[in-house]
Amino acid sequence: MIQAKGWAAQDPKTDLAPWDFERREVGPHDVQFDILYCGVCHSDLHQIKNDWFEGIFPMVPGHEIVGRVVKVGEHVTKFKVGELAGTGCMVDSCQVCENCKEGLEQYCLEGNTQTYNSMERDGSRPTYGGYSNTIVVREEFVLHISDKLDLAATAPLLCAGITTYSPLRHWKVGKGHKLAVLGLGGLGHMGVKFGVAFGAEVTVLSTSPSKEEDAKKLGAHHFLVTKDPEQMKAAQGSFDFILDTVSAEHDMNAYLGLLKTNGVMMCVGVPSKPYAIHPFSLIGGRKSVAGSGIGGIKETQEMLDFCAEHNIVSDIELIDIKDITASYERMEKGDVRYRFVIDMATL
């Protein structure tokens, strides 16, 4: 076994604290890389608090992981010691179902293996995430990271990046389209960057007028304050697509009114309560509400390569691991521009 150290929640009521644990040995098809940076996702907080479902404790969160390869299995062909590597939200899947064969491992029909708070495929041990010094992942779920990009700012691409890239690509958002990005947080700011890079006319929808300057700096063409009835009224029927990144409760019907006929609302945020959608909000313009998760491994690599080509990374605040609890508190208040990333050298 490989001795590892990280920060873990021992149960849903305790804060994260240092914890020593064991990783599996590097198998023939595995890659081990030492973790240099790990992004902080809002879902990390949800899971250590059991907000969504019963968790597996002790829990080491983190699924926006980048680092450098230190060991590879004898049958590994895609990675060499010394190369940069990354891992996102999943570390395995069945590899044989219809979805996996189509490169949609995120929708594995048997359920993919999550990077943390999950069980290894053989049921032998829990998975532990990136708030740690090293990780072992099967080769197929390890991603190449370009040395052209700021490594710390690349980490959030493994979740926030692919979560917004995937739906925009699936619905072929691009030139000639009017895209609204609802919410300007960790997900939303990446949605703006990708929407602009794909050639769409991008509008940020936000309850906070103070975010207009940031939205424009990120490349947004327009800004709409959703608390202003006049602005909302003027924007009725304006957008081909809305990328909904909000995880707090919000009135879906009001935003569906902003879509054109045949418009699509792409939901990537995860509110704690179900949406309340009136049928007339859909029937009135043959509108669609759709959901999207992360991308598959092939698409995630495509996204990373696109980012390297267009110099796209997340806007981050680098933190010390000892400041994680305070960072969670700030994150809940929306006090981060736009993603915390842990410098694992501080572990």
pLDDT at 271: 85
| CA separation, residue 140 to residues 69, 123, 205 (Å) | 14, 19, 37
Q: Are residues 138 and 20 located together in one domain of the fold?
A: yes
pLDDT at 12: 96
Side-chain-side CA neighbours of 301 within 13 Å: the count stands at 11
pLDDT at 316: 97
pLDDT at 168: 98
The CA distance from 244 to 265, in Å, is: 7
Domain that holds residue 150: 2-159+313-346
pLDDT at 333: 87
Q: Are residues 321 and 223 located together in one domain of the fold?
A: no
Q: Are residues 6 and 153 located together in one domain of the fold?
A: yes
pLDDT at 51: 87
Does residue 296 lie in a domain region? no
Q: What is the pLDDT along the chain (347 residues), one digit of tens a residue?
A: 999 999 999 999 999 999 999 999 999 999 999 999 999 999 999 999 998 889 999 999 999 999 999 999 999 999 999 999 999 999 999 999 999 999 999 999 999 999 999 999 999 999 999 999 999 999 999 999 999 999 999 999 999 999 999 999 999 999 999 999 999 999 999 999 999 999 999 999 999 999 999 999 999 999 999 999 999 999 999 999 999 999 889 999 999 999 999 999 999 998 878 999 999 999 999 999 999 999 999 999 999 999 999 999 999 999 999 999 999 999 988 899 899 999 999 99
Strand order in the sheet with 239-244: 222-225, 201-206, 178-182, 239-244, 259-267, 288-291
Q: Are residues 237 and 258 located together in one domain of the fold?
A: yes
Q: Are residues 6 and 154 located together in one domain of the fold?
A: yes
Does residue 298 lie in a domain region? no
Total domains, the chain:
2
Q: Are residues 251 and 148 located together in one domain of the fold?
A: no
Does residue 303 lie in a domain region? no
Q: Is 276 exposed, middle or buried (0-12, 13-18, 19+ CB in 10 A)?
A: exposed
